[in-house]
Structure 1
């Protein structure tokens, strides 16, 4: 890699690491500390943040240093551990995103099934599946059956490379890791928006006065609120989908189209976007919710905002928890 490109990548990776560590840790503490924001979706968000925090803590230090000095790759244990954690935690993050999407889909489109599907043991099973599946997919590579984890001179770091038979699982893992969550996100949020739009349309029909009057301020107010509600959901959908595509599509395309690393700059850009996903998730999935912002303020010690968060919040008797994204 060109020296200026290496320096730039190292600086950006370090900044992402610091931001990711702070943001994900803050999110985990906020979700655990305040019952008002602790609900079913929060369990998956915590899993997502834990995966991203581990990624920033154990992977990014080595991945940032390797742009300047990759001597750590000479240590066999680290050369296997770092890529294993890198791909494993990326997989957990992607599956957690998909799990959050499915959670919201069932909550809106199949509300009657929600309490049956999201019992404590099923939630634990879903989270455990995200972790076991993500790391389990790497076992054949770890054992050298399908590719192997070793130093890649083209990337100047340890990664998944071809085995003695010329086979590698890297392309397959990247394609599957992107395509499956992408299809889930597109399908679920398309259905969500359709259900919400149909519900709002039906509500407008029911609230239409039988005798038209030039003065219907109540109706106008309702329509404005309905449009705002649809727009909030639209923005959430766009934010989730665009961040997902922006962070994971480039590296997927690069890994498929440039296996021999003929264009190193594109690989570096793809990796930086992949790293950025570890710190952007708290912004997309947490900060867009007002109650989470209040919980953040409570964690960092803003007493005025913290006062609005009762230690029991909406978990207190007679209150119902508001779900993620509402």
Structure 2
């Protein structure tokens, strides 16, 4: 599907979106009323499920950095998010949570995976240090990244739009100055194009802020309640648990709903190549 949207091939989005195909397969593991398949399978189910969710959290942060670099530091974007580095970063999204959960999977003292009767799930078992660090760290790191990147993204987009508006206003004031020479009719067709460029810039700004806002809301609604409650050794409601493990499946839908490029790519996929993949680089 990603290959049908030619303008998305080099943006780094494809690598991140492909990860969501795996999440749908594993998010429900261990969500049963009781576990009757043995301790080893319970540990394996908890490990796979937590690695998938951890990878989703890492992907959200990586996408935020991708957007931040493309807007605030565009000259460094091609170097930082080259095809090779995108593959490496996508791999890190899986290796990092697996490495953090490896001590619990191996049963290192103070960290363990197993059946939690309070949560009715195979998960990280309560501990004085390990579980609070894992869960609260997973909640705080994205929040710190959002707090650092989103304001600068907004200011950069706002500054760019104001600079473009000021530049076009200056050109229009020069064009309206009285002149004894004959009017240059060749400049007239450029006025609609200038207005269109302002509208397009505002549209891109609104869309980018909308996507980032949707990601932030998804994180706060789906991830944050459970991460904080479990990190503090509280028992969250079943709905909070369900939202947490469904979040990796919700994130791709957010991108499809908010990004024209993804909608065109899906349309091209499900309509037997009827779409052209789009020519814009929005979202």
Q: Could you give the per-residue CA deviations for residues 136-182 of structure 1, whole angstroms, max 9, x where no partner exists?
A: 001121222232112222222222224xxx54522211111121122
Equivalent position of 1:183 in the other structure: 144
Give TM-score, length-normalised by structure 1: 0.72
Q: Distance in 1 between matches of 2:77 and 2:199?
A: 29
Considering only aligned residues, what root-mean-square deviation do their CA atoms show, in Å? 2.7
Pair 260,291 (structure 1): closer, same or farther in 2 beyond 3 Å = closer
Q: CA deviation at 1:277?
A: 0.8
Q: Distance in 2 between matches of 1:292 and 1:183?
A: 28
The answer to whether residue 266 in structure 2 is matched with residue 296 in structure 1 is: yes
Whichever of the two has the greater Rg, that structure is 2
Q: Distance in 2 between matches of 1:324 and 1:86?
A: 32
The answer to whether residue 121 in structure 2 is matched with residue 154 in structure 1 is: no
SS in 2 for 1:150: strand
Q: Could you give the per-residue CA deviations for residues 43-81 of structure 1, whole angstroms, max 9, x where no partner exists?
A: 4323531xxx33332341541xx14xx233x42221101
Q: Could you give the per-residue CA deviations for residues 104-143 of structure 1, whole angstroms, max 9, x where no partner exists?
A: 1111111111122122332222122211111000112122
Q: Which one is further off, 196-205 or 286-295?
A: 286-295
The answer to whether residue 141 in structure 2 is matched with residue 170 in structure 1 is: no
Q: Is the 8 A contact 1:88 1:134 kept in 2?
A: yes
SS in 2 for 1:60: coil
The count of aligned residue pairs is 266
Q: Distance in 1 between matches of 2:163 and 2:94?
A: 41
Runs of 4+ deviating beyond 6 Å:
none
SS in 2 for 1:138: helix
SS in 1 for 2:118: coil
The answer to whether residue 236 in structure 2 is matched with residue 273 in structure 1 is: no
Equivalent position of 1:237 in the other structure: 212
Q: Distance in 1 between matches of 2:123 and 2:262?
A: 37
Equivalent position of 1:71 in the other structure: 35
Match of 2:159 among 198, 201, 220: 198
Equivalent position of 1:7 in the other structure: none
Pair 235,75 (structure 1): closer, same or farther in 2 beyond 3 Å = same
Q: Could you give the per-residue CA deviations for residues 218-275 of structure 1, whole angstroms, max 9, x where no partner exists?
A: 5766655554443323322221211111111110222134x253xxxx3312211112
Q: Distance in 1 between matches of 2:16 and 2:281?
A: 12
SS in 2 for 1:137: helix
Give the unaligned 5+ runs of structure 1: 1-29, 315-321
The answer to whether residue 224 in structure 2 is matched with residue 249 in structure 1 is: yes
SS in 1 for 2:237: helix
Match of 1:41 among 3, 6, 12: 12
Q: Which one is further off, 146-155 or 196-205?
A: 146-155
Equivalent position of 1:207 in the other structure: 168
SS in 2 for 1:210: helix
Give the unaligned 5+ runs of structure 2: 177-190
Q: Is the 8 A contact 1:147 1:167 kept in 2?
A: no
SS in 1 for 2:122: strand
